[in-house]
Structure 1
């Protein structure tokens, strides 16, 4: 057998490639595999049965071959939809170029084992926080469109649509029908979930299914589906089975409804209740507005009845009258004070006039002043201060005259009249 490298000039024949693959696969050891039976072919008269085993969480499958007696003698029987655990060895058949798992033992997965696995998965998801209440999102009050994932023409679909539209006739749905049990359920549900989550008009997604056995509801406890629901950006409502049924999807979803009917009632509000609530709120708003208007009107009336607003010019007039009265009083007080001061000034003037030298001069007296050579003038108080030749100024009531003291003026005394007068003066006697 040629084992050298291949080339366009030296290619391997098909048999060589098939043998090499068979040799490599035959070196693999036996394995235990779990899956869900989707097809069983055990024709009478044949020694080999063919089984298709599918992964419940992924779109993958493989072919099993086993003695036909292993299938017929299995209790319970190997039928489509059952979960089984098989022990076998990968085998490549060069003649057909196919790969299968040659099985020598098949074990059915019982209900107890399934429940135990679900419980382990429940603890795992809870530890990761997928059940935490704080990660639950509130549903929109009135979603623009509701995504519904359910079985085709199922009672669950009818319950959700009927009850939702009975409460809100304008509710809009985008329905995607999928398999809700069996090996294709999880892949189809995940595809529908991603489709609705990517639709911006869908604001809430409802997963609905009627009741069933534990095996029928197994897809809704699938780990891959639970993680897909947890990763959704759109709120998800779980309405699986009846009230006692609690698949893991109920804990991961944002809202758990006991039945599809309950889901139809909770995703939309009741138009009658909302209309009544609006009517009540409108009445309350009207009463509150009327009360506020009445209160403000009373306040305006009380403000308008106050003197400052009832007669806004009255205080100004009264203040003007007060100002006029005060001005008149001030004028009278000033006039009285001026009159008193004028009278005092007149009396003082009279006294000064009476006591002044002018009055004395008017009675016939004169004031004699001496003029010294420097031209200074002072009152002559004694005859001794006026020797002969002293220039004098005599002040009378209507003017003044000048005189010169004579030589014998001092001896004559008061009986000797003065011999000179006039403005120019007269030489001595």
Structure 2
């Protein structure tokens, strides 16, 4: 995940082009839902489930890629702490573990509505690597041979003390004070040929090179890749400019710094946390009451309708969901009904999700947002929006006493 630190921790967006702004100028004020026929909506979301494609981390969800663990049960993760001959660790392993847990476990418990628990097993001792930290050439765009050597050395050194067959996920945490450690190199590494230890194949590991204290939600972001979720940020070709133009603050897979890091409803549908009864496939139109995506129901309570989907093509769909200042989204500065496009054939980092800006002439949270122009993207009460090129209109009437959003979706000419 890229670092975008600037003086004072404030992130300033670049100006968008006039053409980009014009694509969303159809946001209109309204006093309520306009009377009219509602054709069809179904709790059988199958017609709206895009198929999985060969794209890396495809957002298609008609089937699951068995190369990845699916977080619909408890999973066990081992944290291995690596030191180097050229540096004596200053921060003990238990302090580094506390940088990430139990916060990451709580993030996923809330996001999954209690359906998934990530159980961390941090080791209590440092494991010494055979080479100095500077020897491995650690950096974001890492030389494959040096990276391979680092991973083989780490697994080999740790195998003397750790039974890897007991764990579903492996976090390799480097001494943050070692001179060769680059904090921008944190990522998930997938092996073309799995490493083998303790009678089990290790197909991927999370390499953690974070400073102490680390970026917030960084491990939630990287763990999302372990579950076959894509990067939603855009890396500029020249390394300059904004990384967050696709989704802004909306979803931790876009930015670990986001103000509203709750996973999109589409992601939750893919992971198995939303299903029949919570996802509505809109074919023609629908009047819906959408519960906030990040709101965790009381024990025994119903999830209600969380996601509306409109199929727009063989490889594309629109998603509509409500976002409010609760749960993982408690720090958001705007609330409302969020609309975004999904492209199942677009690979990770290429823009598989695009949040639609229903207020293109304004922004929000200029002192805190990773991309203020999209911070006010959701529709608010009394507003309607026609999606460019899709003949789809979304209208927001009001909010219920419980905080849900009343929405009408109309499709067709």
Which category describes the TM-score, using the shorter chain as reference length? under 0.3
TM-score (norm 1): 0.21
Relative CO higher for 1 or 2, CA cutoff 8 Å, sep ≥ 6? 2
More helix by proportion, 1 or 2?
Answer: 1
TM-score (norm 2): 0.22
Q: Which has the larger radius of gyration?
A: 1
